[in-house]
């Protein structure tokens, strides 16, 4: 029952059995974690029934019936506590959360600046290039996540000679494809109501394909080597099922370059580099 | 100079109304020959070459020549031109030179400045020692260098010709190279500094004097008409570019030996024409420059010595080629003495973006001396000394070794198998080199009978490299230093890992060189 309006309150004031009014757009989440699955979005003015409280989180029932958690930290910006606690409410102990695993899929697009900058610049005309791909992530309620991703870089340049660091182009097309398949383990942490930061690291299988015009298969390159990477990024919750984010990754992929070709001429043996990505994530 | 008179450039009669021309040169009459005016009259001929096909039974030219030398009948390998030295004055002393030969105080009787050179040729008193005179001149402050006019020899070991395919082209991956570069383009010209080229249909009138060989006297043939024909598997319309003969000093460097035609064939034999054999750069233009003196040049009085090429002519030919727009030069010749005048000419050519391929030498079993001008290439980026390998990619028995060998190419090895030489079209030696017949069977030669014959030597290896350079030039790689680096980077390493004195950077790999480098391969 609505008892009062416009009273600012702390979580301690809004005991279970009371109500709160959302004053700004917000979300109801599956668990009392900023990086858990978003169950619903709440429009300003919505009144929620408080089922439990674990400061700074409220367990609430949303108008459409879903039950979840709403952050009360700095809640003055987002909610007003409207009701007093009821006698039948449970004690304000921490909720018992079932450790649930969320599964998310993502697509990503970005650009890589290769560590072997001179080699890529000689053959493709650029030391950086676009990468796109996608993957899947399993996020656990304790913040850990595990993900697998697939990416692809492709550029068509030309065969060259390098003499005294000077590049001489031959006009023969040369297509380079780099395909990293990576697994990452990391940790996610909410930094605000809608923003989650994360860091991680892992290994990858980096496939390099190089196909020259008029060459036969034996003359082309198709090799895969293991590389290592670390990454970090931020996600922003757009809807209960959609996140957007930005991510940076540094990868080290030894042993695949530097034995022949222009990479040998430039003494560059690392196929890795620094990648900046835009990510679009969909939660299930 | 070796020849007492030479026609100036442009003095030749040309044009539709002129059907013959007369060239006159005089020989100095060394050895068994007497002084006489050397005359040759050229008449264009409509008669094409006669094709005898593959040469199955070879005239062993090398054996016959070695026999003649052993018998002391004539020196086929003179070290230098007698009574002659080359000298380059410092700029400030040109005035001194212009005061005349006598002012030099070394017994010089004449000074000549070749048309294509920055050096002078001093004619010495008969019997003077060119080595001693050179040493004396080198002591002078107004002399940059002086040297005898060394004689270079063609670097091939003629063969027992048996029928075989051109394993040499397969070995260096030329078929794959052609996939991306079909024989180069006619925008590229390759100068072949050699014994000339069978490049025109003509009848040339010569005066053939008497001579002695193998202790036998050969009679003078008098005035004879010698038929020449273009090598039909090598010459096509507009293929020949500014030919010049530095022996007869005219624009008709016909091949009186066969070496130059064979070398040029490996470089640029017409290909995919349902005829004979193939060459590496079969679409490029050819600039035949004759400097190598053969027996017939001597017998006909065009040269006062036999046989080989004088440094003064080689240097002039290199400069001629560079100034006349050649993109690549091949020199399948060499000798054991260093030559500043040739070295400078090579640097001059490279400075004009001309790539120079030089045979590395066939003297491994003869004490393995360094062979020049190949040895100079080691210090000149854009000039490459080429060694020879057999069909199994092993160093050929004759191929010289040393720090100056930069790369190797197929030269052949017929010591155990005659098929393992390099096959190309050349004037049939039995018709062309009749001076090897006994006097009773000796007769005028003819150079209009063509055969396919196996030769071996670094002479045969060098045009592979020149051909590859022409293909790279056709690809737009114009800097000879880059071409040299590209060849070395992409060569197939042989022998000791990395560069070594037997194989240099390895076996030239045409397919790889023309593919260039990718990111990882």
What would the pLDDT profile of B486-505 be if each residue is shown by its tens digit?
999 899 999 999 999 999 99
User: CA gyration radius for chain A?
Assistant: 26
pLDDT at residue B72 greater than cutoff 90: no
Cβ A221–B519 below 8 Å, yes or no?
yes
Residues of A in contact with B485 (CB under 8 A): 161, 163
* Ramachandran area for residue A199 (φ above 0: left; ψ -120 to 50: alpha; else beta): beta
- What is the pLDDT at residue A4? 30
pLDDT: is B219 or A43 the higher one?
Answer: B219
Between B482, B514, B520, which is nearest A256 by CB?
B520
- What is the pLDDT at residue A57? 75
Mean pLDDT to the nearest integer, A21-34: 74
From B475's Cα to the closest Cα of chain A, the distance in A is 6
Residues B38-66 pLDDT 10s: 667 787 777 777 777 766 444 455 555 55
Residue A127 in contact with residue B484, Cβ under 8 Å?
no
CB neighbours of residue B174 within 10 Å:
26
Cβ A161–B485 below 8 Å, yes or no?
yes
pLDDT: is A58 or B6 the higher one?
Answer: A58
- What is the pLDDT at residue B207? 94
ipTM exceeding cut-off 0.85 for this assembly: no
User: Whole-angstrom Cα distance, residue B490 to residue B495?
Assistant: 16
Candidate from B104-113, B475-484, B512-521 with smallest mean pLDDT? B104-113
Options 2.30.30.40, 2.40.40.20, 3.40.50.300, 3.20.20.140; CATH of A11-83: 2.30.30.40
Cβ B519–A176 below 8 Å, yes or no?
yes
Topology at the third CATH level for domain A102-283: Porin (2.40.160)
Nearest CA in chain B to A178: B519
- What is the pLDDT at residue B59? 45
From B495's Cα to the closest Cα of chain A, the distance in A is 19
Mean pLDDT to the nearest integer, A259-276: 95
The sign one gets for the Cα dihedral B333, B335, B341, B347 is positive
Residues B315-339 pLDDT 10s: 999 999 999 999 999 999 999 999 9
Mean pLDDT to the nearest integer, A214-228: 88
Q: In chain A, which segments carry CATH 2.30.30.40? A: 11-83
Cβ B521–A256 below 8 Å, yes or no?
no
* Ramachandran area for residue B31 (φ above 0: left; ψ -120 to 50: alpha; else beta): left
- What is the pLDDT at residue B363? 94
pLDDT: is A18 or B288 the higher one?
Answer: B288
- What is the pLDDT at residue A21? 73
pLDDT band at B509 (very low <50, low <70, confident <90, very high): very high
Tokens of B11: 């003095």
Q: What is the DSSP string of B57-71?
A: S---HHHHHHHHHHT
Mean pLDDT to the nearest integer, B1-7: 32
- What is the pLDDT at residue B82? 84
Q: Write down the mean pLDDT value for chain B.
A: 83
Between B479, B515, B519, which is nearest A215 by CB?
B515
- What is the pLDDT at residue B261? 96
pLDDT: is A19 or B457 the higher one?
Answer: B457
For helices B458-474 and B480-490, angle between their N-to-C axes, nearest 10 degrees: 110
3-state secondary structure B205-237: EEEECCEEECCEEECCCEEEEEEECCCCCCCCC
Distance from chain centroid for Cα A116 = 26
Q: Output the CA–CA distances (angstroms, integers) from residue A196 to A186, A192, A239, B167, B210, in the order listed.
A: 13, 7, 14, 68, 104
User: Whole-angstrom Cα distance, residue B269 to residue B418?
Assistant: 21
Residue B246 in contact with residue B317, Cβ under 8 Å?
yes
CA atoms within 13 A on the CB side of B148: 19
Mutate to test the interface with B, among A116, A158, A159, A206 (most CBs of B within 10 A): A159
- What is the pLDDT at residue B256? 96
- What is the pLDDT at residue A20? 74
From A278's Cα to the closest Cα of chain B, the distance in A is 27
Quick one: what percent of chain A has pLDDT higher than 90? Answer: 48
pLDDT at residue A63 greater than cutoff 80: no
- What is the pLDDT at residue A25? 72
Q: Write down the mean pLDDT value for chain A.
A: 81
Nearest CA in chain A to B475: A170
Quick one: what percent of chain A has pLDDT higher than 70? Answer: 81
Quick one: what percent of chain B has pLDDT higher than 90? Answer: 55
User: Whole-angstrom Cα distance, residue B268 to residue B280?
Assistant: 5
- What is the pLDDT at residue B152? 74
Q: Quick one: chain B helix, strand, coil %, rounded to 5?
A: 25, 25, 45
pLDDT at residue A71 greater than cutoff 80: no
pLDDT band at B94 (very low <50, low <70, confident <90, very high): low
pLDDT at residue B135 greater than cutoff 70: yes
Q: What is the DSSP string of B1-18?
A: --SS--PPTT-S--STT-
Most confident of A132-136, A192-196, B171-175, B511-515: A132-136
Peptide bond into B307 cis (omega under 30): yes
- What is the pLDDT at residue B39? 63
Q: In chain A, which segments carry CATH 2.40.160.20? A: 102-283
Q: β-strands B383-389, B407-410: how paired? A: parallel
Phi, psi of A60 (to 5 degrees): -130, 165
Characterize A135-169 residue by residue with b for buried, 16 or more Cβ atoms within 10 angstroms of its Cβ, and e for exposed: bebebbbebebbbebebebebebbbbbbbeeebbb
pLDDT: is B147 or B408 the higher one?
Answer: B408
Tokens of A19: 């109500």
Between A116, A212, A256, which is nearest B518 by CB?
A212
pLDDT at residue B347 greater than cutoff 50: yes
CA nearest A283: which of A39, A27, A31? A39
Most confident of A191-195, A247-251, B234-238: A247-251
Residues B144-189 pLDDT 10s: 999 888 877 654 332 323 224 578 888 888 877 877 778 899 999 9
- What is the pLDDT at residue B60? 53
Between B179, B517, B520, which is nearest A208 by CB?
B520
User: Whole-angstrom Cα distance, residue B159 to residue B457?
Assistant: 10
Residue B109 in contact with residue B101, Cβ under 8 Å?
yes
Residues A116-166 pLDDT 10s: 999 999 999 999 999 999 999 999 888 899 999 999 999 999 999 888 888
Residue A229 in contact with residue A273, Cβ under 8 Å?
no
Cβ B516–A213 below 8 Å, yes or no?
no
CB neighbours of residue B66 within 10 Å:
13
Candidate from A76-90, A236-250, B345-359 with smallest mean pLDDT? A76-90
Q: Is B481 on the interface with A (CB under 8 A)?
A: yes
């Amino acid at each position: 029952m609505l008892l009062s309006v416009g009273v600012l309150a702390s979580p301690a004031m809004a005991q279970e059995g009371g109500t709160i009014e959302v004053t700004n757009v917000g979300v109801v989440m599956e668990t009392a974690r900023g990086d858990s699955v978003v169950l619903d979005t709440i429009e300003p003015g919505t009144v929620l029934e408080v089922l439990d409280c674990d400061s700074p989180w409220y367990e609430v029932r949303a108008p459409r019936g879903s039950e979840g958690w709403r952050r009360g930290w700095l809640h003055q910006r987002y909610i007003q506590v409207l009701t007093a606690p009821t006698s039948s409410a449970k004690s304000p102990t921490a909720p018992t959360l079932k450790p649930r695993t969320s599964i998310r899929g993502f697509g990503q697009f970005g650009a890589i600046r290769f560590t072997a900058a001179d080699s890529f610049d000689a053959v493709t005309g650029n030391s950086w290039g676009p990468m796109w791909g996608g993957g899947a992530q399993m996020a656990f309620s304790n913040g850990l996540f595990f993900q697998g991703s697939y990416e692809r870089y492709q550029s068509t340049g030309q065969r060259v000679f390098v003499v005294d660091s000077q590049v001489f182009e031959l006009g023969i097309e040369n297509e380079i494809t780099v395909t990293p398949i990576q697994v990452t383990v990391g940790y996610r942490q909410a930094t605000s109501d809608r923003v989650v930061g994360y860091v991680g690291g892992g290994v990858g299988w980096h496939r390099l394909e190089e196909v020259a015009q008029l060459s036969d298969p034996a003359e082309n390159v198709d090799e895969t080597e293991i590389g290592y990477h670390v990454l970090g990024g931020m996600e922003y919750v757009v809807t209960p099922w959609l996140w957007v984010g930005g991510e940076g990754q540094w990868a080290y992929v030894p042993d695949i370059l530097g034995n022949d070709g222009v990479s040998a001429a430039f003494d560059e043996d690392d196929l890795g580099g620094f990648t900046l990505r835009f990510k679009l994530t969909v939660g299930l | 100079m070796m020849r007492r008179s030479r026609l100036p450039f442009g003095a030749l009669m040309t044009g539709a109304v002129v059907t013959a021309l007369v060239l006159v040169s005089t020989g100095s009459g060394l050895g068994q020959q007497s002084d006489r005016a050397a005359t040759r009259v050229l008449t264009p001929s409509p008669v094409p070459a006669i094709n005898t096909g593959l040469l199955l039974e070879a005239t062993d030219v090398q054996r016959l020549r070695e026999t003649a030398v052993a018998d002391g009948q004539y020196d086929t390998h003179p070290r230098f031109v007698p009574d002659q030295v080359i000298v380059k004055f410092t700029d400030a002393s040109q005035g001194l030179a212009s005061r005349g030969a006598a002012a030099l105080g070394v017994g010089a009787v004449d000074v000549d400045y070749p048309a294509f050179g920055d050096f002078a040729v001093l004619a010495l008193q008969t019997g003077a020692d060119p080595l001693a005179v050179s040493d004396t001149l080198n002591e002078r402050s107004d002399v940059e260098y002086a040297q005898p006019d060394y004689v270079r020899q063609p670097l091939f070991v003629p063969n027992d010709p048996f029928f075989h395919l051109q394993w040499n082209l397969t070995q260096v991956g030329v078929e794959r190279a052609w996939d991306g570069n079909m024989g180069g383009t006619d925008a590229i010209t390759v100068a072949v500094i050699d014994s000339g080229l069978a490049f025109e249909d003509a009848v040339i009138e010569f005066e053939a004097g008497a001579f002695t060989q193998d202790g036998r006297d050969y009679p003078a043939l008098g005035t004879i008409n010698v038929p020449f024909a273009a090598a039909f598997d090598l010459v096509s319309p507009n293929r020949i570019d500014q030919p010049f003969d530095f022996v007869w000093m005219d624009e008709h460097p016909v091949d009186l030996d066969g070496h130059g035609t064979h070398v040029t064939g490996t470089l640029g034999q017409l290909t995919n024409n349902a005829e004979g054999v193939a060459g590496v750069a079969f679409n490029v233009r050819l600039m035949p420059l004759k400097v190598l003196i053969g027996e017939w040049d001597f017998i006909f009085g065009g040269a006062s010595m036999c046989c080989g090429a004088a440094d003064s002519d080689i240097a002039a030919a290199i400069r001629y080629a560079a100034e006349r727009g050649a993109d690549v030069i091949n020199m399948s010749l060499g000798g054991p003495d260093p030559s500043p005048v040739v070295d400078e000419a090579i640097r001059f050519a490279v400075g004009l973006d001309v790539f120079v391929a030089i045979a590395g030498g066939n003297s491994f079993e003869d004490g393995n001396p360094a062979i020049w001008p190949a040895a100079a290439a080691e210090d000149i980026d854009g000039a490459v000394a080429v060694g020879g390998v057999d069909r199994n990619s092993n160093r050929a028995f004759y191929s010289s070794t040393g720090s100056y060998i930069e790369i190797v190419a197929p030269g052949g090895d017929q010591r155990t198998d005659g098929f393992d030489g390099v096959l190309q079209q050349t004037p049939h030696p039995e018709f062309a080199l009749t001076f090897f017949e006994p006097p009773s069977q000796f007769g005028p030669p003819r150079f209009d009978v063509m055969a396919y014959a196996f030769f071996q030597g670094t002479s045969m290896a060098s045009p592979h490299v020149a051909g590859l350079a022409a293909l790279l030039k056709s690809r737009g790689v114009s800097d000879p230093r880059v071409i040299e680096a590209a060849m070395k980077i992409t060569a197939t390493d042989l022998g000791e890992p990395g560069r070594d004195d037997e194989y240099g950077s390895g076996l030239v790999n045409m397919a790889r060189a023309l593919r260039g480098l990718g990111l990882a391969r």
